[in-house]
Amino acid sequence: MRSTFVVAQIASSVVLLATAGLFIRSLQRSLDIDPGFRAEGVITASVSVSVHGYDRAAAEQFYHQLVTNLRGRPEIAAASMANAAPLSSATYTENVKRVGHPDDRFRSQWAVADSGFIELLETPLIAGRFFTGEDRRASASVAIINLTLARNMWPNDPPPAILGRRILALDREVEVVGIIGNGKYSSLREPPTGFGYVPYEPRFGMSTLLYIRARSTTASAMRAATEELAKLDPNIALDHPRLLTQDVDKFLLQQQLGARLIAAFGLVGVALAMTGLYAVLAFGVAQRMREFGVRLALGARQADIIQSVLRQGLALVGVGLVVGLAGAVGAGRVVSRFLYDSGTVDPATLVVVPLLLILVAVGACLVPARRGAAADPMTSLRAE
């Protein structure tokens, strides 16, 4: 029963550590995902003027002046506005059509962005141009689409040839003036998704998302934004300011928590398993001390005694590893839906974990083994 308990502990440790390895590998691959923008150094916050008595014209003038003033501050490298944050669910989703093709149905997400917004995010431009201030005054008759949407709508045409073509999006006819690289818009795990931007248009009664890219530190950029907002209207404040990296990090939280918690349980399990293994061997050695003494008196070497105890301990470890590896494969299938591009098994983990446990087990076995090898032959012979 003692040996069975030790085997169960070792098997459980293998399952936990192998599962933690899957979460760690998933986290590594998630960190390698290109979201299509650079979040470092970007601050975003909501700014709402409707509750302070601004009408539509006054709100538009306020937002325009605020962005203009922010762009003039040395602490700020870029500033712009949009209606939705990257990796959020605040975008519009609808079927897009090519003008002259009424049967078209191209599913796409859309967002509203001011001039300078795409450049602030450092999303690469593949063909055409970004938005300008003139586009804002043109009643949103232009659009910038990503490469996936462009290829879905015109699969046989290169990006430069698509510029100037007209599509129906957001209940309006717009001209494609730019094509940008793909990105992640709702989740880091999403497949390539069609996406497009139309020029920013202030909507009275709704808050606006302000974006700021810091030139040096985000703290100094935040102070500058607060100062400029107070100059325009001391009654208005930045609502829920945060770093854009926080929005990216929240999608990695599941893998981080999974890896940390399961690895912690696994390490605790290893400690318990090795303690149990040591206790079983120490108890067995204590019962066999007279036997070891007699064997030494009859010519056995101390190395033979040590090898005997090690074989006993490593046999338990071997059985535990076999059971644990089988359990790890099953556990991988259970947690695979929480992982990103990791499969149900990680060969490297299934090699490293057993080797680690074998090394630790050898250490746990050596102490009682050396104690058995130190048995006194004369004491054993007198007892016999």
109 and 9 share one domain: no
Q: Which of 243, 262, 277 is the last residue of a domain?
A: 243
Q: Rounded to the nearest 5°, which phi and psi values hold at 288? A: -105, 15
Confidence (pLDDT) at 205: 46
First CA to last CA across the chain, in angstroms? Answer: 30
Would you call 31 helix, strand, or coil by DSSP?
helix
**Which of 181, 212, 243 is the last residue in one of the domains?**
243
Residues 237, 95 share a domain: yes
H-only helix segments in 240-288? 244-249, 253-287
Same domain for 17 and 46, yes or no, is no
Residues 238 and 256 in one domain: no
Asked whether the predicted pLDDT for residue 42 surpasses 90, the reply is: yes
The token pair at 113 is 């962005």
Q: Is residue 373 scored above 80 in pLDDT?
A: no
Which of 210, 243, 276 is the last residue before a domain boundary? 243
Question: Residue 200 is encoded by which pair of tokens?
Answer: 């920013």
Mark whether 220 and 308 lie in a shared domain: no
**Amino acid identity of 361?**
A
Q: What percent of the chain has pLDDT over 70?
A: 93
Based on the structure, what is the number of domains in the chain? 2
Question: Are residue 57 and residue 117 in the same domain, yes or no?
Answer: yes
Taking the CA atoms of 101, 107, 112 and 116 in sequence, report the sign of the dihedral they define.
negative
Per the model's pLDDT, the better-predicted residue between 294 and 239 turns out to be: 239
- Rounded CA-CA distance 18/334 in Å is 13
> Cα–Cα distance between 182 and 193 in angstroms, integer?
8
Q: What is the pTM of this model?
A: 0.73
Q: Are residues 14 and 143 in the same domain?
A: no
H-run or E-run covering 289: helix 289-297
pLDDT tier, 204 (very low <50, low <70, confident <90, very high otherwise): very low
Nearest C-alpha neighbor of 357 from the set 327, 309, 311, 324: 324
Distance CA 66, CA 72 (A): 10
* Rounded CA separation 376/130 (Å): 87
What is the CA angle 135-140-144, rounded to 5? 75
Do 81 and 219 fall within a single domain? yes
* Assigned token pair, 154: 């015109």
**Which residue would you say has higher pLDDT here, 69 or 206?**
69
Amino acid at 96: V
Six-digit token string for 176: 């494609």
Whether residues 234 and 311 share a domain: the answer is: no
Rounded to 10 deg, the angle between the 253-287 and 2-31 helix axes is: 160
Q: Domain range spanning residue 286?
A: 2-33+252-383
Q: 236 and 179: one domain? A: yes
Query: Do residue 27 and residue 47 come from a single domain?
Result: no
pLDDT of residue 384: 60
Name the residue type at position 169. Answer: A
Both 94 and 166 in a single domain? yes
Residue 125's DSSP bridge partners are: 180
Could you report the per-residue pLDDT of 328-355, keeping only the tens digit for each? 888 888 877 777 666 677 888 888 888 8
Using one digit for the tens of pLDDT, what is the confidence trace for 113-145?
A: 889 999 999 999 999 999 988 887 655 589 999
